């Protein structure tokens, strides 16, 4: 039998990014958390954490995290059936990985009423849509919104739609670099804005226009900052149409080349044995996402 106090300590260390914050989360001393991790490792016969900054789970640690995530959700179902088991009435906390552009556009509108009705607290982990599935594989999250269709073992994948991106720049940027109109050859010599090292949207866009290889670019890991930098003329970049509609209507941003959108598919991943709450959230996200996303 697992000792769930030990598993909770492991989950807290990974989720909080360290022993000190894990101790604060669980209302324990840091030495108590350390002792629980050591006891857990003694019982499984191998390390469950990679002692790094922040600590990460080993392979067996990931399996234990997967287990404890699903147990938490199944316990919530049981608490509803046996109310005396949930005397404190504490809301459930769901840890979900999603991309910053979804958070900046449609996500809050899609899940706001669900969280209010079900008394759910969200612990959101921001990852690029190309790599968010790593959090599921590591057992750190209960669900994930990403661009990968293939689910990890023990999970399901549900297509939601696609987020449409437009290649945008400020009018001043266009006048400076394309005084005689857009030219593909000149685009390769202008500066782009890229969200982060795992963001390959601009690369894909350039490749679709026949431009291969490296290019000058700023790195800006913020959806709001990305918008501000583009408006200021620091570079061009691919931005969600949902996020840029007002700026486009006011003429503060323009498409650098019309009718060349990039559609990024989004898939919702969730554990198969995630209980009723995760199942209900899955249905809710699927239904609400259709309002904002482009059909696949």
pLDDT at position 53 is: 84
At 167, give phi and psi (nearest 5°): -80, 115
How far apart CA 219 and CA 187 sit, in angstroms, is 18
The count of structural domains within the chain is 2
pLDDT at position 192 is: 97
Answer whether residue 62 is part of any domain. yes
User: Are 168 and 256 contained in the same domain?
Assistant: yes
What the block records as the tokens of 240 is 């969600």
- Other C-beta atoms within 10 Å of 122: how many? 14
Q: What is the mean pLDDT of each run of 10 residues along the chain (296 residues)?
A: 84 89 91 92 90 86 80 68 53 85 95 92 82 79 90 91 97 96 93 92 94 93 96 97 97 96 95 83 95 94
Answer whether residue 272 is part of any domain. no
Output the domain CATH number for residue 77: 1.10.10.10
Using the 3D structure, point to which of 36, 52, 86 is the last residue of a domain.
86
Answer whether residue 37 is part of any domain. yes
C-alpha distances (whole Å) from 201 to each of 207, 225, 240 are 10, 17, 11
What residue numbers bound the domain in which 62 lies?
A: 1-86
Residue written as token pair 């019309």: 258
Reduce the DSSP state of residue 227 to 3 states and report it: helix
pTM of the model: 0.79
pLDDT at position 260 is: 95
pLDDT at position 163 is: 96
Using the 3D structure, point to which of 45, 65, 86 is the last residue of a domain.
86
pLDDT at position 224 is: 94
Answer whether residue 151 is part of any domain. no
pLDDT at position 138 is: 76
- Given a contact cutoff of 8 angstroms between Cβ atoms, the answer to whether 57 and 65 are in contact is yes
How far apart CA 148 and CA 157 sit, in angstroms, is 9
pLDDT at position 77 is: 65
In angstroms, how far is CA 127 from the centroid of its own chain?
Answer: 4
pLDDT at position 79 is: 61
At 266, give phi and psi (nearest 5°): -120, 135
Answer whether residue 294 is part of any domain. no
């Amino acid at each position: 039998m697992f000792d769930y106090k030990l598993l909770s300590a492991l989950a807290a260390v990974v989720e909080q990014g360290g022993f000190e914050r894990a101790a604060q989360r669980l209302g324990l001393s840091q030495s108590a958390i350390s002792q629980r991790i050591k006891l857990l490792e003694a019982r499984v016969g191998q390390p469950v954490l990679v002692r790094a900054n922040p600590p990460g789970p080993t392979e067996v640690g990931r399996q234990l995290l997967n287990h404890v995530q699903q147990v938490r959700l199944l316990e919530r179902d049981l608490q509803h059936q046996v109310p005396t088991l949930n005397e404190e009435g504490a809301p459930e906390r769901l840890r979900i990985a999603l991309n910053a552009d979804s958070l900046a556009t449609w996500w809050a509108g899609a899940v706001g009423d669900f969280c209010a009705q079900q008394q759910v607290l969200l612990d959101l982990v921001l990852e690029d849509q190309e790599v968010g599935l790593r959090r599921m594989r590591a057992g750190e999250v209960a669900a994930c919104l990403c661009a990968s269709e293939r689910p990890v073992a023990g999970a399901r994948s549900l297509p939601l739609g696609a987020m449409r991106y437009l290649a945008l720049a400020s009018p001043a940027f266009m006048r400076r670099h394309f005084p005689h109109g857009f030219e593909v050859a000149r685009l390769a010599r202008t500066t782009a804005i890229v969200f982060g090292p795992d963001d390959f949207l601009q690369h894909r866009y350039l490749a679709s226009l026949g431009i291969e290889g490296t290019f000058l670019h700023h790195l800006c890991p913020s959806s709001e900052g990305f918008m501000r930098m583009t408006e200021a003329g620091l570079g061009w970049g691919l931005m969600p149409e949902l996020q840029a509609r007002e700026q486009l209507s006011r003429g503060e941003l323009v498409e650098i080349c019309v009718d060349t959108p990039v559609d990024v598919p989004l898939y919702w991943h969730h554990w198969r044995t995630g209980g009723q709450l995760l199942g209900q959230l899955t249905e809710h996200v699927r239904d609400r996402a259709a309002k904002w996303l482009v059909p696949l």
